[in-house]
């Protein structure tokens, strides 16, 4: 059975640089910086880099990796020992900072609350699914008024509470399962 891992990395870069995760698996490029797992950012999120899709890995797999900054020609590897991640949940969010040893791992328990399950059971499954899809895949051209018009969305508070690292540990939908310093 496989697990899905999403990454959030705080890393300051120059204009033409990007952040990648390289490591001991083919999904992480087998330590080749050119083949590493690409992260992305945008004007609103920078200096937070994120994965736009989940890294698929096997449950109980030990993933060894490092963060790199690359400009296509040169790669700058973070200092310190390789990072290790033991895959323990089916859906995880990994939060880390370039050149800092701390790793915060959150297991995603669920996307909606028990109260919302009754609403879904009453035939609003498609509407709820579309609201979630909109929140997960917001495009850069969404205006603030488009986002504010979702006041009735059952996902609005959850998404807002997860937009900053300071608030993520307070979100009721994430449970920290591991903290490590190497």
Q: How large is the average pLDDT for residues 14-39?
A: 96
CA dihedral 86, 91, 97, 102 (to 10 degrees): -40
Q: How many alpha carbons lie under 13 Å from residue 77 in its C-beta half-sphere?
A: 14
pLDDT the model gives residue 106: 86
Band of residue 72 on the pLDDT scale cut at 50, 70, 90? confident
Give the helix, strand, coil percentages of the chain, each rounded to 5.
25, 35, 40
Q: Does domain 2-108 have CATH number 2.60.40.10?
A: yes
Output the pTM of the full model: 0.62
Mean pLDDT lowest for which of 18-22, 53-57, 87-91, 163-167? 163-167
Reported as a pLDDT band with limits 50, 70 and 90, residue 162 is very low
17, pLDDT greater than 90: yes
Specify whether the CB–CB gap between 9 and 97 falls below 8 A.
yes
Q: Give 151 or 101, the one with higher predicted confidence.
A: 101
- Which residue, among 169, 3, 172, has the nearest Cα to 85 in the 3D structure? 3
- Three-class DSSP category at 94: strand
CA-to-CA separations, 38 to 14, 34, 76, 153, in angstroms, rounded = 16, 9, 14, 31
Q: What confidence score (pLDDT) does residue 112 get?
A: 56
Q: Where are the alpha helices (DSSP H) in the chain?
A: 114-119, 125-136, 144-148, 156-161, 165-168
CA angle 57, 98, 90 (to 5 degrees): 20
Residue 169 has pLDDT above 60, yes or no: no
Q: How would residue 119 be classed by pLDDT, with cut points 50, 70 and 90? A: low
Q: What is the pLDDT of residue 115?
A: 63
The CATH 2.60.40.10 portion of the chain extends over 2-108
Average pLDDT, the chain: 74
pLDDT tens by residue, 50-70: 998 899 999 889 999 999 999
CA trace torsion 142, 148, 153, 154 (10° rounding) = 110
Nearest residue to 158 (alpha-carbon basis) of 125, 111, 95, 116: 111
Q: Report the percent of the chain where pLDDT is more than 70.
A: 59
Buried/exposed code over 127-143 (b: 16+ C-beta within 10 A; e: otherwise): ebeebbebbeeeeeeee
Asked if the model's pLDDT at residue 25 lies above 70, the reply is yes
């Amino acid at each position: 059975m496989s697990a899905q891992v999403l990454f959030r990395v705080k890393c300051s870069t120059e204009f033409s640089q990007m952040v990648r995760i390289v490591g001991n698996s083919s999904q992480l490029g087998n330590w080749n910086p050119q083949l590493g797992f690409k992260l992305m950012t945008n004007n609103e999120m920078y200096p937070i880099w994120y994965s736009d899709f989940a890294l698929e890995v096997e449950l109980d797999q030990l993933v060894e990796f490092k963060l790199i900054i690359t400009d296509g020609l040169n790669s700058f590897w973070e200092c310190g020992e390789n990072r290790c991640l033991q895959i323990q949940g089916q859906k995880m969010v990994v939060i880390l900072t370039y050149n800092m040893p701390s790793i915060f791992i959150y297991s995603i328990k669920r996307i909606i609350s028990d109260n919302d399950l009754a609403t879904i059971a009453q035939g609003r499954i498609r509407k709820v699914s579309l609201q979630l899809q909109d929140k997960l895949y917001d495009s850069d051209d969404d205006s603030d008024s488009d986002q504010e018009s979702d006041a009735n969305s059952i996902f609005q508070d959850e998404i807002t509470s997860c937009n900053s690292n300071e608030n993520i540990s307070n979100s009721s939908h994430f449970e920290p399962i591991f903290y490590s310093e190497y």
